[in-house]
Structure 1
Amino acid sequence: MDLAVVDLSRLQFALTALYHFLFVPLTLGLSFMLVIMESIYVMTRRPIWRTITRFWGVLFGINFVLGVATGITMEFQFGMNWSYYSHYVGDIFGAPLAIEGLMAFFLEATFVGLMFFGWDKLKPHAHLFVTFMVALGTNLSALWILIANGWMQNPVGAAFNPDTMRMEVTDFMAVLFNPVAQAKFVHTVSAGYVCASVFVLGVSAFYLLRGRHVGFAKRSMTVASAFGLAASLSVVVLGDQSGYALTDNQKMKLAALEAMWRTEPAPAGLTLIGIPSMKDRETHFGVHVPWVMGLIATRTIDKPVEGIFELVATAEDRIESGVIAYDALEKVKADPADPVARGVFETHRRDLGYGLLLKRHVADPRQASPALIQQTAWETVPNVPALFWSFRIMAGVGMFMIALFATAFVLCTLRKHQTRWFLRLAVLSIPLPWIAIEFGWILAEFGRQPWAVEGVLPTFLGASSLTVAQLWATIVGFTLLYGALAVVEVRLMLHAIKKGPFHEQQTFETAPDTPSDPSAGARAPAAAVA
């Protein structure tokens, strides 16, 4: 396999995934914020809450369309750019994606139209149910996609079949309840809730700074502050659980993101900040916090945390075992009835993927020298500086979000919504959740390298037989298309925000906020909703 093709395939998938993930978190969070807002309307029957729900629903709809459009492209890439990956693990990976399409996508597609066009055709309780089903479908989509992704991180419930030369499902319930997938789902969804809360908070702060739609903005800000505080706290707690899941399933990723070159004796300390060097294989100017890493990784103070050097030594042993598995598999292919070869393969089958890592350098792993095996073992170490800083940026933004929403919650409780320094901070904070989320994606996916499926299939073996020219053509094409879509999406969002929640651009002060005001609910931008 031409490694330039592999690198370009990875680049293309990374670009499209990062772009797609600009829309997903906002969709996840706004969907349930709409449920909360509409629930208040159904309970109070105050028209202002109907207006609030419809306004944020417009922004949800714009974002939802772009998320669906970019997600479809990503799924096609599995067949176009990663055909051998799809062949090798398609029995397992394809099942959650198929269920996502049948269960979640069609659920969203069915109810999203009713949500937008059913305001005047459905009773309030019925429309609330429709909105809830859209939110449920959106979050179920994330669940099934993250089950598929979680299996790539921790391939449970499946085994390699030497007769078909493919991975096959052995326990679908293990795939479904994969601890890594469950941890990733709750962490990712909570991050989406934070993202939407910051968006609502920032736009509301913008209105308050301009003195426009003040009543609308105060109510939206109150919902965002409460929802965002709960979500930001859950992100940190669930992120900690996600990190704990790495202890048993992805020890190399854990060691890399902490730049832990040597095993830390108990109680293991945390490197708060430093300058990791892949060349020197050490972290310069590290600032260490005692005990913390042991508590995060092992939940104890009496267990060590393995370092990169020790994990590389383990990988070297597994590569040697994988060579034995590869040799036995070749004998099984030549003589499927050979009981000795099958017995040897069964003994070493779990290390076959490590043996396949050698194919990056030699056609037949059995011809690899001890020096090449040692070199390949070091290739199981991902880019330590990239993971180290990605984690710290993500975690730093997460801590800032807690402080931001705690302050917002206090100000809203005290009815000091128009504290101008905070409003400016809220507007400036709008990009931060997206930054943290994108770095979280880099941490999760880049940290898995060199594996497409952890310990099973090396990334370079999963790519299709494409040419460099074909890949550059599609990368340029996607970049231009997605760039145009980004401009359209941002302009539509800004236009809806500029237009405001009331059709005639009236501030809330001039629109009576009482159930007896029959026009208050009718001022939602009907054209924008349509």
Structure 2
Amino acid sequence: MVNDFVVDLSRAQFAATALYHFLFVPLTLGLTVLLVVMETIYVTTGRDIYKQMTQFWSKLLLINFALGVATGLTMEFEFGTNWSFYSSFVGDTFGAPLAIEGLMAFFLESTMIGLMVFGWDRLTKAQHLTVTYLVAVGSNLSALWILVANAFMQHPVGAEFNPVTMRMELESFGALFFNDDAQSKFVHTVLAGYLTASVFVCGISSWYLLRGRHVAFAKRSFRVAVVFGLLSSVGVITLGDALGYVDAKVQPTKLAAMEGLWTAEKAPMPFNAIAFPLQDEQRNAFEIQVPYMLSLLVTHSLDGTVPAVDELEALARARIRNGIPAVLAMEKLSSSPNDADARSQFEAHKADVGYALLAQRYAPDLTQITDEQVARAARDTIPEVWIVFWSFRIMVGLALLMMVYMLFGTLVSLANEIEKRRWFLRLGLVMLAAPFISSEVGWLVAEVGRQPWTVFEKLPTWLSASTHSESYMIFSITGFVLLYTIFAIVEMFLMVHFVRKGPEEPAPHGAVQTAGGY
């Protein structure tokens, strides 16, 4: 019998390590591309200040990259230690993009980043610029393959479940790669990384300008970052809409949680701008709605509808009942793989086998399952609504705030008035936290919204975890949290140290302009 507390601890440990790791990933993605922009300007114009900018920001990238690698590697080990059945279930499919990520992207990025930071005196301008481009390519390719793997958990395509081996076996790599969820999530994630780096560079540049230090460097860094950030913020919001459209098709339970939608409504459907969801009572205690907006946002029409929780639970109950014969057939196939009748029974009901496995948590003997147990399992198919609902709104609200910040910053920077807007420079320091918070709650929307599945509609989370003891899991999660906290403190210490130290001044013959000639 599964130990629910061990499953919860396993989830908490992976959530903690993933949230720590995702503090470093977006900044790495964005800084690599910003460095490409800065160094390209340096190579094409010959202005040494852009070399100074590239060298300084690349040092901060190196610190962030090192901590990202350290936190990311341990996450991969967790798949084998804490989620052994999950690893066996998806190994044939999930392992392919992760292996490609390691061979194609991670080693490229890891090798080239050293040349980029330490190779200025050993490479020509063109060679060094090529290295910087390769770092950016490697970083973004790494994100691509990891998100392809993650997208399979959200929308499992390109693989078929084998009832004898109990594994998802890869059948079409093309379908896996061109998964709608993978492509939309990749673009959304990397654009969020670009926005994160832009806010990061703007914030530190604002700090220098407030203190009158490295003024020419800070103004140019701010201008490059704010224009890049404006474009990225528009892309994040636009592609976020596209990702929501995909979720409406492939993960309706996540969308219902995002919108706090408990009961079916007629079109055009209103949007719950603010609500206080009550999971047990399956209603909202309080709502502020915008008429027609949900239909417009999700279906891009006034006559479109979105399934609500009550409809999705009714569908889940039917799918649980339909999936039970498939699980019973699997039990026969485990001892008699060539049983033609069992194979035929499985094939007829295999689309819903995951739902029956979900119900097996409450009814180990599915032949004796009760209506109450079916209803309980069906209710589990709805994720924790208040977490998904509010995480989504925080993410979107911060994205809109950052877009407004970038728009105003672009205007005052292009007007060469950034130093006069000291209130705006102070705002830049406050804004430093915004993209990191937005990324973290975005991860919560994606991963909590997928529950109760590790592989959506195929493998329930309760069945995925390893059979560790409670004491082992408590010891393990404590150790990981302490270790990752140390990593975060080290990152902050090194970042603050190098920011306080500031960029190295270019040689006297460099083409650095005075503030008045900016």
Q: TM-score, normalised by structure 1?
A: 0.94
Aligned to 1:178: 179
Cα drift, residue 329 of structure 1: 1.9
Whole-angstrom distance in 1 between the partners of 2:430 and 2:422 = 12
Whole-angstrom distance in 1 between the partners of 2:233 and 2:396 = 11
What is the SS of the residue equivalent to 2:185? helix
Whole-angstrom distance in 2 between the partners of 1:184 and 1:470 = 35
Q: Which moved further from structure 2: 364-373 or 152-161?
A: 364-373
Map residues 416-495 of structure 1 onto 2, 5 A cutoff: 416-418=417-419, 419-495=421-497
Aligned to 1:329: 330
Q: Which moved further from structure 2: 89-98 or 320-329?
A: 320-329
Cα drift, residue 449 of structure 1: 0.5
Contact 2:216 2:512 in 1 (8 A): no
- Which string of whole-angstrom CA distances, capped at 9 and with x for unpartnered residues, describes residues 34-88 of structure 1? 0000000001111111011000000000000000111000001000110110001
Whole-angstrom distance in 2 between the partners of 1:114 and 1:258 = 47
What is the SS of the residue equivalent to 2:337? coil
Map residues 292-307 of structure 1 onto 2, 5 A cutoff: 292-307=293-308
Contact 1:356 1:365 in 2 (8 A): no
Aligned to 2:192: 191
Contact 1:225 1:409 in 2 (8 A): yes
Whole-angstrom distance in 1 between the partners of 2:125 and 2:509 = 21
What is the SS of the residue equivalent to 2:202? helix
What is the SS of the residue equivalent to 1:301? coil
Map residues 193-212 of structure 1 onto 2, 5 A cutoff: 193-212=194-213
The structure-2 alpha-carbon separation of the partners of 1:406 and 1:470, relative to structure 1 and needing over 3 Å to count, comes to same
Aligned to 2:389: 388
Contact 1:45 1:515 in 2 (8 A): no
| Equivalent pairs, count | 512
- Which string of whole-angstrom CA distances, capped at 9 and with x for unpartnered residues, describes residues 287-324 of structure 1? 11122211222222222211000000000000001112
Contact 2:164 2:330 in 1 (8 A): no
Whole-angstrom distance in 2 between the partners of 1:332 and 1:468 = 33
Q: Counterpart amino acid of 2:416?
A: R
Q: Which moved further from structure 2: 281-290 or 221-230?
A: 281-290
What is the SS of the residue equivalent to 2:169? strand
Q: Counterpart amino acid of 1:474?
A: S
Whole-angstrom distance in 2 between the partners of 1:385 and 1:484 = 31
Segments of structure 2 that go 5 or more residues without pairing to the other structure are none
Identity of aligned residues (%): 51
Cα drift, residue 214 of structure 1: 0.4
Whole-angstrom distance in 1 between the partners of 2:384 and 2:163 = 33
Whole-angstrom distance in 2 between the partners of 1:67 and 1:113 = 15
What is the SS of the residue equivalent to 2:287? strand
Whole-angstrom distance in 2 between the partners of 1:490 and 1:462 = 35
Q: Which moved further from structure 2: 295-304 or 217-226?
A: 295-304
Aligned to 2:249: 248
Aligned to 2:511: 514
Contact 1:265 1:305 in 2 (8 A): no
Whole-angstrom distance in 2 between the partners of 1:308 and 1:428 = 38
Whole-angstrom distance in 2 between the partners of 1:469 and 1:516 = 63
Aligned to 1:527: none
Whole-angstrom distance in 2 between the partners of 1:473 and 1:332 = 39
Cα drift, residue 163 of structure 1: 2.7
Contact 1:84 1:464 in 2 (8 A): yes
Aligned to 1:79: 80
Q: Which moved further from structure 2: 156-165 or 374-383?
A: 156-165
Whole-angstrom distance in 1 between the partners of 2:35 and 2:243 = 28
